[in-house]
């Protein structure tokens, strides 16, 4: 199978030699080729360059059945990598949304049975099939919006059986979608009501029962903990990460969303792949992230939806750090997986340049979910997950036209959908 995309107005995020990530002032640079072609063979990107240098494929052996797309006026981007979602869930939570509009606090909503525990109750009542069907609808939606890789967390089960049920649904999604999917075990997302006042016992359950069973069925790539004020402490996080790492699950955690929680430090201590949210980041946290292998990941959708302070993204980049962006797609704090809108929020609310936002949603977010060797840029040998835009005047137009669907065609693993 060969697919040739020709006359591309701009081929975005091109790499001759793939990089691990893009950091600091480099984040403002995007390598692009104007008037370009892209050749895909089977599932992979095999070649690209300027139209004037394009080989005469018509005359080459083995090129008699090449599908061709003429992309005149249109751009080609590598698909977004969404490195942080909770997109397996049952039901929505728009009642809490209206309660919030009316002025109810997070605590008041939780007291009425809202929040993560609300989703846990619905998760318990849903069958694996129901969860799979609902999640696949979201998967199809994010594919149509340009996402080519997604990380999905458990964490709405909060019992041994229900956490396994969620992770089995994620496994089924992995096996049945052309998207690249990574899974994270987030048993320590909230303390279930029946463990109130006995949080340590719940942590023991996560460590002694859940983690070994999750590992035995090979259901998780990563281990996550909500390490924050009112949720899990640094000490508890330390114990849970240690337990997960013994089974080969690399940490990738929720940190510093509600306070200077120490989450970043414990994440870096255990070489977390990423620390995510990061509304509360000061000099100490930045110093800790420097020279680490941990990707600071910001979730502008959650900060927007919950009206939170913005993470100091510019300070992190000025200090030379890389930054990734993800959607946090979940029913409580970010009910959308639209990565193009995440770029717009990053530009408007965090003053990221459009080029920085593209780097943060492709190469850097690929690193944050451990797929940077196969995805995140246009590079020879990488998986051919790309999208073709509609006719647009510039790269900046993508986040600028924040409400418009600018995607004309999606190609996953070399197949046009
Ligand atoms: O990433 N911060 C913790 N967990 C989720 C919210 C989950 C929910 O409210 O359902 C998040 O934003
Ligand atoms: Fe999250």
Element (H, E) at 219: none
In angstroms, what CA-CA distances link 17 with 31, 33, 67, 373, 393? Answer: 11, 15, 27, 11, 28
If you measure from the C-alpha of residue 257 to the centroid of ligand 2, how many angstroms do you get, rounded to a whole number? 10
If you measure from the C-alpha of residue 254 to the centroid of ligand 2, how many angstroms do you get, rounded to a whole number? 6
**Strand 274-277 vs strand 253-255: parallel, antiparallel, or unpaired?**
parallel
If you measure from the C-alpha of residue 398 to the centroid of ligand 1, how many angstroms do you get, rounded to a whole number? 27
Mean pLDDT to the nearest integer, 234-239: 98
Which has the minimum average pLDDT: 18-22, 65-69, 267-271, 341-345? 65-69
Name the DSSP letter for residue 209.
I
How far apart are alpha carbons 29 and 13 in whole angstroms?
A: 9
Length of the chain: 417
Closest C-alpha residue for ligand 1 atom 3: 226
Q: Where are the beta strands (DSSP E) in 303-343?
A: 324-325
Identify the pLDDT of residue 386.
98
Query: What would the two tokens of residue 126 be?
Result: 């849903």
**Using 50, 70 and 90 to split pLDDT, how confident is the model at 202?**
very high
Percent of the chain with pLDDT over 70: 100
Which of ligand 1's atoms lies nearest the C-alpha of 228? 2
Pocket of ligand 1, beta carbon within 6 A: 115-116, 119, 226, 254, 257, 302, 328, 330-333
If you measure from the C-alpha of residue 394 to the centroid of ligand 1, how many angstroms do you get, rounded to a whole number? 34
Identify the pLDDT of residue 58.
83
Which residue has 């009910």 as its token pair? 335
How far apart are alpha carbons 324 and 379 in whole angstroms?
A: 19
Identify the pLDDT of residue 65.
84
Task: Show the domains of the chain with their CATH numbers.
Answer: 2-79+375-416 (2.30.40.10), 88-368 (3.20.20.140)
Element (H, E) at 233: none
With a cut of 80, say whether residue 111 has pLDDT above it.
Answer: no
How far apart are alpha carbons 151 and 133 in whole angstroms?
A: 18
Query: How do residues 280-289 score in pLDDT, each as one tens digit?
Result: 999 999 999 9
Query: How do residues 135-167 score in pLDDT, each as one tens digit?
Result: 999 999 999 999 999 999 999 999 999 999 999
Identify the pLDDT of residue 64.
82
Ligand in nearest proximity to the CA of 189: 1
Mean pLDDT to the nearest integer, 319-327: 98
Which of ligand 1's atoms lies nearest the C-alpha of 116? 10
Maximum Cα–Cα distance across the chain: 74
3-state DSSP assignment of residue 274: strand
With a cut of 90, say whether residue 107 has pLDDT above it.
Answer: no
How far apart are alpha carbons 249 and 210 in whole angstroms?
A: 13
Mean pLDDT to the nearest integer, 37-57: 96
Query: How do residues 326-366 score in pLDDT, each as one tens digit?
Result: 999 999 999 999 999 999 999 999 999 999 999 999 999 99
pTM: 0.98
If you measure from the C-alpha of residue 128 to the centroid of ligand 1, how many angstroms do you get, rounded to a whole number? 21
């Amino acid at each position: 199978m060969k697919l040739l995309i020709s006359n591309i107005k701009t081929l975005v995020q091109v790499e001759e030699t793939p990089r691990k990530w893009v950091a600091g002032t480099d984040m403002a640079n995007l390598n692009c080729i104007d008037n370009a072609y892209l050749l895909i063979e089977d599932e992979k990107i095999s070649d690209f360059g300027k139209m004037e240098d394009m080989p005469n494929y018509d005359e080459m052996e083995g090129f008699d059945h090449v599908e061709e797309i003429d992309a005149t006026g249109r751009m080609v981007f590598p698909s977004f990598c969404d490195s942080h979602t909770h997109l397996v869930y049952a039901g929505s939570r728009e009642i809490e949304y209206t309660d919030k509009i009316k002025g109810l606090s997070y605590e008041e909503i939780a007291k009425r049975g809202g929040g993560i525990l609300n989703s846990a109750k619905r998760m318990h009542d849903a069958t694996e099939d129901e969860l799979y069907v609902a999640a696949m609808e979201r998967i199809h939606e994010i594919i149509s919006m340009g996402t080519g890789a997604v990380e999905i967390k458990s964490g709405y089960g909060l019992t041994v059986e229900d956490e396994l049920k969620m992770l089995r649904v994620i496994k089924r999604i992995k096996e049945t979608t052309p998207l690249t999917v990574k899974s994270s075990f987030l048993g320590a997302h909230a303390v279930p009501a029946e463990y109130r006042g006995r949080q340590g016992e719940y942590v023991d359950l996560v460590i002694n029962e859940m983690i070994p069973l999750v590992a035995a069925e090979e259901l998780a790539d990563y281990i996550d903990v909500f390490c924050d004020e009112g949720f899990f402490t640094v000490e508890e996080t330390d114990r849970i990460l240690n337990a997960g790492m013994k089974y080969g699950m690399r940490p990738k955690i929720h940190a510093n969303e509600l306070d200077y929680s120490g989450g970043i430090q414990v994440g870096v201590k255990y070489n977390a792949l990423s620390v995510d949210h990061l509304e509360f980041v000061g000099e100490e946290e930045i110093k800790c992230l420097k020279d680490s292998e941990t990707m600071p990941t910001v979730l502008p959708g959650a900060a927007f939806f919950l009206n939170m302070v913005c993470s100091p993204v510019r300070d992190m980049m000025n200090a030379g750090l890389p930054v990734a962006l993800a959607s946090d797609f979940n029913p409580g704090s970010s009910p959308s997986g639209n990565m193009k809108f995440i770029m717009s929020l990053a530009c408007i609310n965090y003053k990221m340049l459009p080029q920085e936002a593209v780097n943060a949603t492709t190469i850097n977010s690929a690193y944050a979910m451990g797929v940077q060797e196969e995805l995140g840029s246009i590079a020879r040998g990488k998986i051919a997950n790309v999208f073709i835009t509609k006719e647009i005047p510039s790269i900046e137009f993508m986040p600028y036209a924040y409400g418009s669907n600018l995607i004309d065609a999606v190609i996953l693993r070399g197949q046009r959908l």
